[in-house]
Amino acid sequence: MTGYGVTQKLEEQIKGEREYWQHILQRVIAVIQTLVERRLPFQGSNDTFGSLQNGDFLGLLELVAQFDPFLAGHISKYGNASKGNPSYLSKTICDELIRLMSDKVRPTIVDETSTAGYFSLFVDSTPDLSHIDQLSIVLRYVSPTDGKPVERFITFLNLKSHTGEEMANQVLHYLCQVCKIDFSKCRGQSYDNAANM
């Protein structure tokens, strides 16, 4: 009978831990969704809670924590923890959650594009924080549900070369091979004054 009690207590403790981290994730994901929906930047010049330069992600978490004692307690305990301590508040976890969310959203965009029939393509290169050029790919099409035009960011591709041919090959490979989009349905292309295209 004693063994059962210990096992039951361990299972309850594990369940409590799981629920705790699920509640944290719900709040973190809600903040990420808010920033993404409004196309706002995430990071500031530092990753410190309490700093005015910590960016929109940590700033919004601080705002929510003013009205959410559960999140406030978590930030107080884990907010500025050293590297290697789990908190679900770091930019690494934020980036991972964004990637997971995009992996869920991208197939829906591809399906909508295919259902719409025709689409146009917008490609632009921009450097990321580490000064690596990336190609941003945006699809524009008429929504099959309400007939309104929509623009959907679909991905960033690491730019291998600045030649027009290489950029075109990367875009075509991604759209045709990875996304399985029929490029013959493309009716417009925009490259933001890129002479090499």
Return the number of other C-beta atoms located less than 10 Å from residue 41's C-beta.
9
Instruction: Give the residue ranges of the chain where pLDDT is below 70.
Output: 1-4, 128-129, 192-197
Pick from 81, 79, 102: nearest CA to 27 = 79
Provide the mean pLDDT of the chain: 88
pLDDT tens-digit map of 107-165: 999 999 999 999 999 988 877 667 778 888 999 999 989 999 999 999 988 887 778 88
In this structure, what are the phi and psi dihedrals at residue 100, rounded to the nearest 5 degrees? -65, -40
Q: Which helix (H) or strand (E) holds 140?
A: strand 133-142
The answer to whether the CB of 167 falls within 8 A of the CB of 196 is: yes
Q: Which two tokens stand for residue 93?
A: 């976890």
Q: Is the dihedral of CA 133, 46, 35, 19 positive or negative?
A: positive
